[in-house]
Amino acid sequence: MKHFGSLIWAALMMAAIVGWLALNTYARQSVSENEQAAKSANAKQAVTHPVRVQVRRITAIPRRETLTIRGRTEAVASVDVRTRTEGQVVKLNAKKGAFVQEGAELCTLDMGTREARLAEAAAMLAQTELDYKAAAALMKRGFAPETQEAANKAKRDAALAAIKQVRIDIERTRIRAPFAGIVEDQPAKVGDLLKVGDICARLVTQDPILVVGEVTENEVAKLKTGMTASTELVTGNRASGKIRFVARSADAATRTFRVEVEVANPQGLLRAGVTASISVPLKSAPAHKLAYSLLSLSDEGQIGVRLVNDDNTIRFMPVTILDDSKNGVWVAGLPDKARLITVGQDYVREGQLVEPVEMTAEAGS
């Protein structure tokens, strides 16, 4: 009897355990179903209420592209004026730094024996002229052969050439400026004995002056001679001119092409060797000016902006930066008209449905 009671007690305990387990399982199923229902409700609410973003309607405006070239100023010509005869310097006719006109005398050499040689050549010419005339008269009368007349004519012509040669040598003692410019250097001094090829002075042009720079392989095709360009020196001087030369072959070391802009410099305010920039206006094309804060990066690392399509979905548009300044950045690559996200662009993804809120005139100003 006692053993039978123990069996009843064990059966009751087993029933209690089974009941507790069933109740626990039912409770867990209820919680899971409630969570799923809550998630489904949240998803429906998200679809029903998309994320709000602030947008602004933008319109492209024509912008003239400008190519900026870094460079320097150069003289159109810089020449070492050399002697073409030898002699001692007796006079310097222009001071270093002075402006001289074309043909102005820079250095004067000693005449030496040139005047004596000129007198000798003149006397020889007079004698040969008399001999030639006498031979010609005798030949007409039949008292002299034609060969004698020809020989005397040759002597006369040689005397004429000798006079011309001495006069040229005398003229070369006056070393003159081949063009108008500034005497940049004057290595010759009074008393120096100069030989043929020695330097009397270094002359550089003042007006016009060149502003030169180098452009890349991608930029050279945009330029041609005759295009208008503006220049600005680090000294603050500004001037405009025209492109006079675009290199046809690249520099072997840098793979860049030389560009020369000719600028008027009548007062000599622009000096050679000064750092300068060249701005060349190119073709006009539609572009947008945006604030830096509106730019973002795609997952692939591209720079662009996020737009809202007509169906209110998000689209990332890569852009090309044309120019930047303190007031913003000019970009290309966007549609002429678009709705640009100005607030919330970092919290949305490609293709996501949003609720765009357009900026008012006050907010956009």
Using 50, 70 and 90 to split pLDDT, how confident is the model at 124?
confident
CB-based contact 335:31 (threshold 8 Å) = no
Residue 248 pLDDT greater than 70, yes or no:
yes
Residues 184 and 296 in one domain: no
Q: So what's the pLDDT on residue 7? A: 59
CATH of the domain at 333: 2.40.420.20
29 belongs to a structural domain? no
Residue 18 pLDDT greater than 80, yes or no:
no
CATH of the domain at 87: 2.40.50.100
Q: Domain tally for the chain?
A: 3
pLDDT digits (tens, 9 = 90+) for 176-192: 999 999 999 999 999 99
7 belongs to a structural domain? no
CB-based contact 59:337 (threshold 8 Å) = yes
Q: So what's the pLDDT on residue 225? A: 94
Residue 363 pLDDT greater than 90, yes or no:
no
Residues 213 and 192 in one domain: no
CA-closest candidate to residue 313, choices 287, 350, 344: 350
* Average pLDDT for 130-158: 71
Residue 364 pLDDT greater than 50, yes or no:
no
Residues 94 and 193 in one domain: yes
Residues 139 and 58 in one domain: no
Element (H, E) at 46: helix 2-48
Residues 195 and 91 in one domain: yes
- Domain range for residue 243? 68-76+205-284
- Residue 270 token pair: 């622009």
Domain end (from 284, 318, 349): 284
Domain end (from 161, 189, 204): 204
Q: What is the 3-state secondary structure (H, E, C) of 205-261?
A: CCCCEEEEEEECCCCHHHCCCCCEEEEEECCCCEEEEEEEEECCCCCCCCCCEEEEE
198 belongs to a structural domain? yes
pLDDT digits (tens, 9 = 90+) for 339-350: 999 998 888 888
* Average pLDDT for 54-81: 92
* Average pLDDT for 309-326: 89
Residues 224 and 324 in one domain: no
The residues with which 321 forms a beta bridge, in sequence order, are 331
* Average pLDDT for 143-171: 80
Domain end (from 222, 251, 284): 284
20 belongs to a structural domain? no
45 belongs to a structural domain? no
Share of the chain above pLDDT 70, in %: 81
CA 70 vs CA 169, 226, 249: distances in Å: 47, 19, 19
Residue 101: Cβ-neighbour burial (10 angstroms; 0-12, 13-18, 19+): exposed
- Supply the mean pLDDT for the chain: 84
30 belongs to a structural domain? no
345 belongs to a structural domain? yes
pLDDT digits (tens, 9 = 90+) for 81-91: 999 999 999 99
* Average pLDDT for 139-147: 64
* Average pLDDT for 59-70: 89
Q: What is the pTM of this model?
A: 0.60
Residues 239 and 357 in one domain: no
CATH of the domain at 217: 2.40.30.170
Residues 276 and 212 in one domain: yes
Residues 219 and 273 in one domain: yes
10 belongs to a structural domain? no
Q: So what's the pLDDT on residue 212? A: 97
Residues 224 and 162 in one domain: no
Residues 199 and 88 in one domain: yes
- What does the alpha-carbon distance between residue 10 and residue 15 come to, in Å, rounded to a whole number? 9
Residues 278 and 343 in one domain: no
